[in-house]
Every structure is written in C-alpha cells, then in structure tokens.
C-alpha cells in the first residue's frame, strides 16, 4: 500500500457572518495516499473549495491539522507554507489563473524559476509540447482559447512534478467536448507523474474516474 502523503485530522473552519458564527467544515478527518486520485464531491456551498484551500495552506483552519509528508502546515508561517507549496503542490483552477502579461512559455517557466531550476525554459517547452501546445509558446493568454489556457495551466502544474495536485472544477469554464479532452489529459499526466490528485468536481462521470470519492454535505464528511 502506498505511503500516506496527507493526513487531515479534525479539520474545522468557522467564520463570522451577520447572524453570528457559521461552521463551514465540521472536524473532518481522512488520509490521502501517494499516487491516488480522489474526487471531492458535494453540493455548491458544502465546503469543498474551502477544504481545498486548507489542504493547500492558502487558508487557515479554526481547529485541527493538515500534515503533508508529516509536516503540520499550520505550524509554519506564511513564508514557510509558500515554500512548501512551491516544492510539493500544483494547482489547476476553473478560471485558469494564468498571468496575462506572460506568454504560455513564461507562465509554465515561472514555478521552475521561483525554485531556481537551471533549465526552466527547456523543461517548460517540453511540457507544453506534451500538452499539444508546442506551436503556442509565445502566445499570451488573451489569444488562447479556454481549452488552450487550461492546457497551459496543466503544463504549469505538472512541470514541477508535484507530490500533490489540487484541481478546483477544472472544466467548469469549458464546453463539454473541450472539458472532456482536458480531463483526459489531466488523468494521463497524473498517471505519468505519479502525483496524488485531489479534484473538486460536480461532474459525476469525472468523479467516477477517480479511485476514491469524499462526499461533503453541509461541511461534514459523509462518505
């Protein structure tokens, strides 16, 4: 059995709203193993994206812990969490989150450059070729289709061979055919890289392709 990559223990998130305190996540506990694919499913507003942000250390919990390779994310300061993300995590978002002033190549090179990788350009070119964009290296996001932008985002996420890839509704901004092609590519890249994939999705067919599903209802883990 694969090693445990992520341990989530009693993870809780509460916020204040006009009516008082609102609990978004109620003491969630689960593990993610190396190389597995896991879908997080549930209705809108159930807490899925909040959970993903906590797994990434982009938000802080009201209680509980997230440990990545045994490291408690929230025992680190913001700089420490950012350094850990740079080493271990990749992200794919519904809205692509590409930097508009950078070309496709520069967007994919960026995480490598931030880590001081010496051959960033060569690695980025190879990954863009892998996702079918070898002819689009110098193009800016504004002239790329939605599907092309998401493939750039996939290349950027996988180029650093992250231990953990977090994807939040990656086909939400795409038409059905384009979304299906992007998901096929994501699963292929995930198998090739041996990454642990955590995918938030409303799409039952996409969720069914993952090895396991975590269902959240009103902030509680029910399956």
pLDDT in tens, 128-176: 999 999 999 999 999 999 999 999 999 999 998 999 999 998 888 888 8
The per-residue pLDDT for 202 is 86
Q: Is the pLDDT of residue 2 over 90?
A: no
The alpha carbon torsion through 221, 196, 173, 115 (nearest 10 deg) reads 130
pLDDT score of 69: 93
Rounded to the nearest 5°, which phi and psi values hold at 45?
Answer: 85, 5
Bridge partner list, 22: 15
Q: What is the number of other CB atoms lying within 10 angstroms of the CB of residue 127?
A: 24
* Domain containing residue 211: 4-221
d(CA 174, CA 177): 8
- pTM, whole model, 2 decimals? 0.89
pLDDT for res 98: 93
- Bridging pattern class, strands 196-200 and 37-41: parallel
Q: How many CB atoms lie within 10 A of CB 35?
A: 17
Q: What is the pLDDT of residues 12-65, one digit of tens each?
A: 999 988 888 889 999 999 999 999 999 999 988 889 989 999 999 999 999 999
Beta bridge partner(s), residue 39: 199, 213
> Closest Cα partner for 197 from 33, 81, 67?
33
* Structural domain count of the chain: 1
The predicted structure's pLDDT at residue 1: 60
CATH number reported for the structural domain that contains residue 80 in this entry: 3.40.50.300
How far apart are the C-alpha atoms of 75 and 68, rounded to whole Å? 12
């Amino acid at each position: 059995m694969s090693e445990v990559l992520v341990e989530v223990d009693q993870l809780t998130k509460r916020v204040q709203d006009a009516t008082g305190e609102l609990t978004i996540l109620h003491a969630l506990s689960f593990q993610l193993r190396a190389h597995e694919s896991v879908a997080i499913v549930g209705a809108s507003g159930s807490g899925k994206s909040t959970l993903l942000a906590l797994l990434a250390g982009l938000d802080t919990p009201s209680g509980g812990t997230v440990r990545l390779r045994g490291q408690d994310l929230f025992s680190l300061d913001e700089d420490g969490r950012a350094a850990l993300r740079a080493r271990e995590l990749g992200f794919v978002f519904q809205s692509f989150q590409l930097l508009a002033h950078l070309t496709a190549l520069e967007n994919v090179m960026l995480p490598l450059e931030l880590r001081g990788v010496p051959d960033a350009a060569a690695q980025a070119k190879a990954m863009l070729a892998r996702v079918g964009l070898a002819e689009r290296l110098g193009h800016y996001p504004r002239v790329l289709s939605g599907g092309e932008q998401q493939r750039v985002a996939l290349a950027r996420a996988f180029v650093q061979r992250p231990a953990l890839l977090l994807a939040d509704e990656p086909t939400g901004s795409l038409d059905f055919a384009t979304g299906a092609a992007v998901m096929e590519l994501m699963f292929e890249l995930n198998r090739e890289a041996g990454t642990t994939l955590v995918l938030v999705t409303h799409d039952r067919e996409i969720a069914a392709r993952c090895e396991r599903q975590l269902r959240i209802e009103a902030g509680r883990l029910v399956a």
